[in-house]
Amino acid sequence: MTFNREAMLTYLSDELGVDIEDINDDTLLFTDGYLDSFSVVDLVTYLESSANISISPSEVNLDNLDSVGRIITFVDVKTQ
């Protein structure tokens, strides 16, 4: 698996049921209810395997994960 914007949008749509027509890079996925508590673990597992990174519990927060833009930035920093 590789990590990129397109693959993540496909994942959000196919696996987590997000209507990707209704979101942009800044849409707040958890705060605005596109994703709920059940999706957190799935999303983290997906990011760890697709981007080959390890995410600690303290990194699982809204600053890192609440939008497509934030997730991309977070993964970029982790893989640098």
Partner 1 sequence: MSIFTFHDLLTHNLTSRAEQTAVIDGERQVSYRELSDQVDALSTWLVEHNVNAGDRVGIYLRKSIEEVVATIAVARVGAVFVNINVQWKLSQLEYVINNCAIKTLIIDGRGARELRTSNVLSRLDNIIVKGSSSSHPKYTAWQDSLAKTSVIDRPVINTGLAALLYTSGSTGQPKGVMLSHLNLLEGARSVAKYLNNESSDRVLSVLPFSFDYGLSQLTTMFLVGGTIVLQPTFMPSEIVKTLVEKNVTGMPAVPPTWVQLAQYLQVQNIEFPRLRYLTNTGGKIPDNVLELLPDLFGQPEIFLMYGLTEAFRSTYLPPDMFNCKRGSIGRAIPNAGVYVVDHEKGVCGPGEQGELLHAGSLVSQGYWGNPEVTAEKFRVCHHLENVLGEQKVVYSGDLVRIDEDGYLWFVSRLDSMIKCSGFRISPTEVEDAVSASYMVTDVVSYGVEDRELGQVVHVAVTPRDSSDFNLDVLRRYCQKHMPSYMQPRTIHVWDGSMPRTSSGKLDRPLIIKLATDESAE
- CB 38 → partner 1: shortest distance, Å? 4
Question: Is residue 45 a contact point for partner 1 (CB under 8 A)?
Answer: no
How far apart, in whole angstroms, are the C-alpha atoms of residue 55 and residue 60? 7
By beta-carbon proximity to partner 1, the closer residue of 14 and 25 is 14
Distance (Å, whole) CA 63 – CA 10: 22
Shortest Å distance, C-beta 19 to partner 1: 8
DSSP per-residue letters across 51-80: TT----GGG-SHHHHSSHHHHHHHHHHHH-
Does 39 bind partner 1 (CB under 8 A)? Our answer is: yes
Judged by CB under 8 A, does residue 30 bind partner 1? yes
